Structure 1
Amino acid sequence: MWKHGKSPMDPAEDTVLIFDVDLAELIAKLAPKLHTVKKYIVLTDRGCMHRASDRADKGAWISQEAAGLKGALCYEELLKRERPRLHSFQWVKVDENAACGLCYTSGTTGRPKGVLYSHRANFLHAFTVSMPDASAMTSATTVLAVVPAFHANCWGLLFSAPLVGAKLVMPGPLLDGASLYQLLEEERCTLSAAVPTVFMGLLQYLRDTKQRLTHLKTITIGGAACPALLIQAFQEEYGVEMRHMWGMTELCPIGTVAGFKGTLPPLSKEGKLALQLKQGRVTPFVDMRIVDDEGQELPRDGKAYGELQVRGPHVIQRYYRHDEDAVDSDKWFNTGDVATLDPYGHMQITDRSKDVIKSGGEWISSIELENIAVSHPKVIEAAVIGIPDKKWTERPLLVIVPKPGQPVSSDELLNFFQGKTARWWIPDNVVFVDELPHTATGKLSKLTLRKQFENYEPKKAKL
């Protein structure tokens, strides 16, 4: 993905690499390609760095010799060395617009690009994420931050949790249902954040073992549209509220949070769920609109859909080391998402502009089809991509990961769509796979899927 075989660290000119001990073997393999890195710091103590390498297969204790990183520094040792001087430490004063961090986009639809955050952007964003209508964090909150730190600063939790004095729990590499449940209970976590696939695994574990969640109250979910069954299950079976969040690396990253305004009319159970499935209302400081192909603003009626644009003090102005601006003359940033806005300001993503499927001159939302597919009791995960069609330009292809030991046929799955969406939206073909490709941040990689099935020969369309 990078020119001349360079790593993502080369454009950033990183000189120090800090990593957990379980990543030592991987870093050792990458080290020859990290041309700008001069120092390596392992997040462990000196004893662990010298444990016998014969336990390396367990991923917990790897010696620096086994990792091949001679001269790697030990984080705990460095920290201990500085403790006597803590009383004389002087905070460094910097301009609020100075650079504070660099994250790269996920690259789900194209090459990753660098987004340089300022201190001011992170500070303002931390306020919005911790507010009652967002994560509702206080000093009594304990946060299990499953979303990784490299995913846009853990969706801002790395700053918002310390801002209010909340306890921050980091799970490490074990993200299976059993491990997450143990952490949630032992650390008495009240809030957690992750992509939907993580909580699907937790839900399956809870159902299989008949366990209960005794402390968790709220889950914030993002990175992909959350299936209705996930929201319903956690809310009805475990009393946990799931809140959609939407954002991008370019937004620092949160831009909207789902919730119920006090001015809303009375809603039925179905109406409340429909609102929860939307990505929510804008957070403070963010402006939002949808526009047509000519850049004209579209009505907020919940029906019209167009390109989603945002602007604000923590929205990107220019990608790292790019000459051209990422925004137009009025500071609007085109997100690449296709969305609707309703009269109450609730936004709903219908698709990424590069993922939406054009069939017979009309648009088909891959997200809506995926949500229907994963509500089938024999499906773990689903993806929908457009494949070329001579008659209709494109037709949707359904790619399914079935549940182990629960065989399901193509006809059963396709019949499941009847009455849930327009007939012509229903895919003509189903492919079964053992797993779907994901990016490092846990997002479904449609880019990889389209490449994987670029030569797929579909059956005759039923339209």
Structure 2
Amino acid sequence: MTYVDLVLERLSTDDEREALIAGDTRLTRAQARDLLFRLADGLVQRGIGPGDGVAAYVGNTPEAVLLTVAVHLLGARLVYVPPEPGPGELRALIERADVAGVVVDPTFSTRLDGWHLADLPGDPVERTPAPDFTTVMYTGGTTGLPKLAVHRSDDRWTASATTPPMNLLCNTLITHGSGAGATRLALMTGSKLVLGPSTFDADAFVRLARDEQINATMFVPPMMYEVLDHPDCPGPQFGVVIVGGSSLAPKRLRQAIEKWGPVVNQRYGMTEAMVITTMPTTSVDLDQPDTLRTVGKVNPVMEVEIRDGDVWVRGPHVMDGYWGEPPLSETADGWFNTGDVGYFDSDGYLYLNDRSKDVIVTGRTSDNVYSRLLDDFLITLPGIRQAAAVAEPDEALGEVVHVFLVTEGPDVDVDRIRDSVVAELGALYQPRGVTIVPRLPLTNVGKVDKRKLRSQFR
């Protein structure tokens, strides 16, 4: 049994119960089930069958969510296409993905041509779900070429079906890992799924949380920070808040727990390897600061090893490999290097120092500056709301530390900031450059875009 079987099972009961909501569209379970089969039929009429690739370049709409299920219903290969890549990279992604068709939503973007989502539905032909399907997800490559992580169908997600129904608000794009996971969880559990805008907006979150009586949601950290800073930030109405996708500042985690209660759960994972570790709030001790820094303990179905400081993982949540490349089972015995630098403590809790690509290598002896540690420390200083440390090229030292800061006012004592960093983290971490910005650039999924910050020095 796959998640598609469970979705159809949920949509076949309690017909008038609301299932999918976005903007002015509100679909009951019966309406969602009917549209799911009509979208599948539209794909069949266009020649899509088991194993064929279908690229989805869509935003956060009920129709788009059901499209992704329809592709899997047919046993086809779903290729999520996010909006971040530039025109050349976008074309390369589609070419490399070897798809039979591209479904686009012009109300979301007109950068790609394809079958219009609104024109896709055919007849309400009921079909038995295929036993196998594939999901392909984009992830930026260090070479500049798009990389496509391949995940095969299995039953690892169906254990979540025992979760009671919720009113779940999806904040990230459904074509990203967290958004795809949130929509799948909601449909499997028979929850009411409320879709936030395709581009996150804290005002919209506050309104939807109130109007739709949201009791479950997922954030990437910068989104959560915006909500916590909002003048109308919701109180303790949530039964569960999941946060992951990038590093979480301990100060902000404490703030979230104090605001919403012991419901904030961290998950460490990535496109290539989902749900590596978990850290429930019940394991956090606010009197023990280290419990705010860890990403938790290893998911029981996963294996994690530290090799030369890098975090390696293996297990059912790890991708098969990259599309067009040999599978991990052939090249690395199933192991995958996450690109994160970390360590375990004596109790089995995993701590992440930084992303390998974000480590700043500086000094006469080429020492490592872990930008995440500096980011987390900087926002504990008075007047600093957000911080991002990146490498700035330097002829003498190779790289030096440059920090971008979002502050509460125009008066910033840069010397005081430097002195505080040296006192806490040492001279190696002292910022050579400090830039005050009104906001940090974010990717479409809501993560701080350090690559864009680094590009300012080219």
TM-score by length of 1: 0.72
The correspondence for 1:372, drawn from 367, 372, 377, is 377
Alignment partner of 1:331: what SS?
A: coil
Q: Secondary structure at the match of 2:389?
A: strand
Question: Which letter maps to 1:94?
Answer: P
1:146 positional shift: 0.8
- Quote how far apart the aligned CAs of 1:185 are: 1.6
Aligned counterpart, 1:40: 116
Change (3 A) 1:11 1:321: same
Between the aligned partners of 2:207 and 2:446, the Cα distance in structure 1 is 21
- From 452, 455, 458, give the equivalent of 1:448: 452
Residue pairs, 1:56-455, within 5 angstroms: 73=119, 78=121, 82-83=123-124, 85=125, 89-95=126-132, 98-99=133-134, 101-106=135-140, 110-120=144-154, 123-125=155-157, 127=159, 130=160, 138-152=163-177, 154=179, 156-173=181-198, 175-205=200-230, 208-209=231-232, 212-239=234-261, 241-251=263-273, 253-259=274-280, 269-271=286-288, 273-292=289-308, 306-323=309-326, 325=328, 328-360=331-363, 361=365, 362-403=367-408, 405-454=409-458
Contact 1:142 1:168 in 2 (8 A): yes
Output the amino acid matched with 2:238: L
Q: Deviations over 1:50-101 (max 9, x none)?
A: xxxxxxxxxxxxxxxxxxxxxxx1x6xx3xx645x5xxx2313334xx42x2
State the partner residue of 1:17.
103
Do 2:353 and 2:373's aligned partners in 1 also have CA atoms closer than 8 Å? Answer: yes
Verify the 8 A CA contact 1:217 1:239 in the aligned structure 2. no
Q: Report the Cα distance in structure 2 between the residues aligned to 1:288 and 1:269, rounded to whole angstroms.
A: 27
Q: Using the alignment, how far apart are the partners of 2:207 and 2:429 within structure 1?
A: 42
CA RMSD, Structure 1 to Structure 2 (Å): 2.9
Whether the 8 Å contact between 1:414 and 1:427 is mirrored in structure 2 is: yes
SS in 2 for 1:169: strand
2:370 partner letter: S
8 A contact 2:394–2:400 mirrored in 1? yes
- Is the CA contact 2:328–2:336 (under 8 Å) kept in the aligned structure 1? no
Unaligned runs of 5+ in 2: 1-85
The 1:237–1:139 alpha-carbon spacing in structure 2 relative to 1, beyond 3 Å, is closer
Return the index of the structure with the highest Cα Rg. Answer: 1
**Secondary structure of the equivalent of 1:115?**
strand
Deviation per CA, 1:175-202: give whole Å up to 9, x if none. Answer: 3222111111222222211111111111
Structure 1 residues 441 and 110: CA distance shift in structure 2, 3 A: farther
Q: Report the 3-state secondary structure (helix = DSSP H, G, I; strand = E; otherwise coil) of the residue aligned with 1:90.
A: coil
Distance 1:326 1:450, change over 3 A: farther
SS at match of 2:391: strand
With over 3 angstroms needed to count, the CA separation of the structure-2 counterparts of 1:383 and 1:111, relative to structure 1, is farther
Query: SS at 2:312's partner residue?
Result: strand
Q: Are residues 153 and 363 of structure 1, via their aligned partners in 2, closer, same or farther at CA, if it must alter by over 3 Å?
A: closer
How far 1:108 sits from its partner (Å)?
7.8
1: distance between equivalents of 2:196 and 2:181? 16
Distance 1:261 1:202 in 2: 22
User: Given the superposition, is the C-alpha separation of residues 384 and 126 from structure 1 closer, same or farther in structure 2, using an over 3 Å criterion?
Assistant: farther
Q: CA separation in 1, counterparts of 2:263 and 2:416?
A: 32
**Alignment deviations for residues 320-355 of structure 1 (CA, whole Å, 9 cap, x no partner):** 112575874432111111111122222121111121
Contact 1:316 1:326 in 2 (8 A): no
Q: 1:5 to 1:275 in 2, by over 3 A?
A: closer
AA at the equivalent of 1:40: H
SS of residue matched to 1:189: coil
Count of residue pairs the alignment pairs up = 370
Check conservation: 1:327, 1:333, Cα contact below 8 A.
Answer: no
Tell me if structure 1 keeps the 8 A contact 2:178–2:218.
no
Q: 1:417 to 1:322 in 2, by over 3 A?
A: same
CA distance in 2, matches of 1:366, 1:355: 6
Report how far residue 150 of structure 1 moved: 1.2
Q: Classify the secondary structure of the residue corresponding to 2:400.
A: strand
Structure 1 residue matching 2:156: 3-state secondary structure = helix
Amino acid at match of 2:412: V
Shift of 1:238: 3.7
Check whether the contact 1:144–1:170 (CA below 8 A) recurs between aligned residues.
yes
Residues of 1 paired with 2:210 and 2:435: CA distance? 38
Deviations, residues 258-296 of structure 1 (Å, cap 9, x unaligned): 13788xxxx86331x42232112222321101011xxxx
Aligned-partner Cα distance in 2 for 1:222–1:175: 15
SS of 1:270's partner is coil
Deviation string 1:3-60 (CA, Å, 9 cap, x unpaired) is 68825333222514143x642xx31xx24xx4xx3x1113xxxxxxxxxxxxxxxxxx
1:103 deviates by 1.0
Structure 2: distance between partners of 1:197 and 1:342? 27
Q: Is the 8 A contact 1:188 1:216 kept in 2?
A: no
Name 1:53's counterpart in structure 2.
none
Distance 1:308 1:157, change over 3 A: same
Aligned partners of 1:333 and 1:214: how far apart in 2?
A: 38
Structure 1 letter corresponding to 2:286: K
Asked if the contact 1:396/1:428 (under 8 Å) is kept, the reply is yes
**SS in structure 2 opposite 1:250?**
coil
Alpha-carbon distance between aligned partners in 2 of 1:256 and 1:155, rounded to the nearest angstrom: 19
2: CA distance, partners of 1:158 / 1:225: 23
* Separation in structure 1 between the aligned mates of residue 410 and residue 89 of structure 2, nearest angstrom: 46
Secondary structure of the 1:181 match is helix
SS at match of 2:443: coil
Distance change (3 Å), C-alpha of 1:290 and 1:82: same
> Residues 236-265 of structure 1: CA distance to partner in whole angstroms, max 9, x if unpaired?
2342532221111111x2211113788xxx
Look up the SS of the partner of 1:245 in the other structure. Answer: strand
Most deviating of 373-382 and 240-249: 373-382
Change (3 A) 1:152 1:427: same
Asked whether the equivalents of residues 384 and 397 of structure 1 are also in contact (C-alpha less than 8 Å), the reply is: yes
Q: What is the DSSP-based 3-state SS (H/G/I as helix, E as strand, rest coil) of the residue aligned with 2:373?
A: helix
8 Å contact from structure 1 (residues 244, 277) kept in 2: no
What amino acid is aligned across from residue 281 of structure 1 in structure 2?
Answer: K
